């Protein structure tokens, strides 16, 4: 009997928002990205580890690390847009 362990990172875009990019210096649309780390067993994600957040400029592709509050900000904006 043997086991195949591994780690996998899944990234997904959780929202879009506008802000001034520090590289382009323009008001551009950024994607908010949530990266979830998973412990895998036989290539199947079993246990989720911590998430990390980042933003990506849709114009120049600049990726910056973001704080976990990003998720609340993006989902809060999405709720506000729906109301």
Binding site for Zn ion (CB under 5 A): 21, 23-24, 57, 59-60, 62
Residue 73 contacts residue 81 (beta carbons within 8 Å): no
Nearer to Zn ion, 34 or 55 (CB): 55
Residue with tokens 């043997």: 2
Give min distance, CB of 42 to Zn ion, in A.
40
Nearer to Zn ion, 31 or 73 (CB): 31
Determine contact, residues 13/26, Cβ cutoff 8 Å: no
Q: Is the Cβ of residue 14 or residue 60 nearer to Zn ion in the bound state?
A: 60
């Amino acid at each position: 009997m043997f086991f195949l362990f591994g780690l996998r990172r899944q990234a997904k875009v959780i929202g879009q928002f506008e802000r001034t990019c520090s590289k382009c210096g323009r008001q551009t649309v950024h994607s908010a990205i949530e990266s979830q780390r998973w412990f895998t067993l036989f290539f199947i994600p079993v246990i989720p580890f911590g998430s990390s957040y980042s933003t990506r400029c849709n114009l120049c592709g600049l990726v910056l690390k973001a704080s976990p509050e990003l998720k609340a900000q993006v989902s809060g904006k999405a709720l506000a847009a729906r109301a």
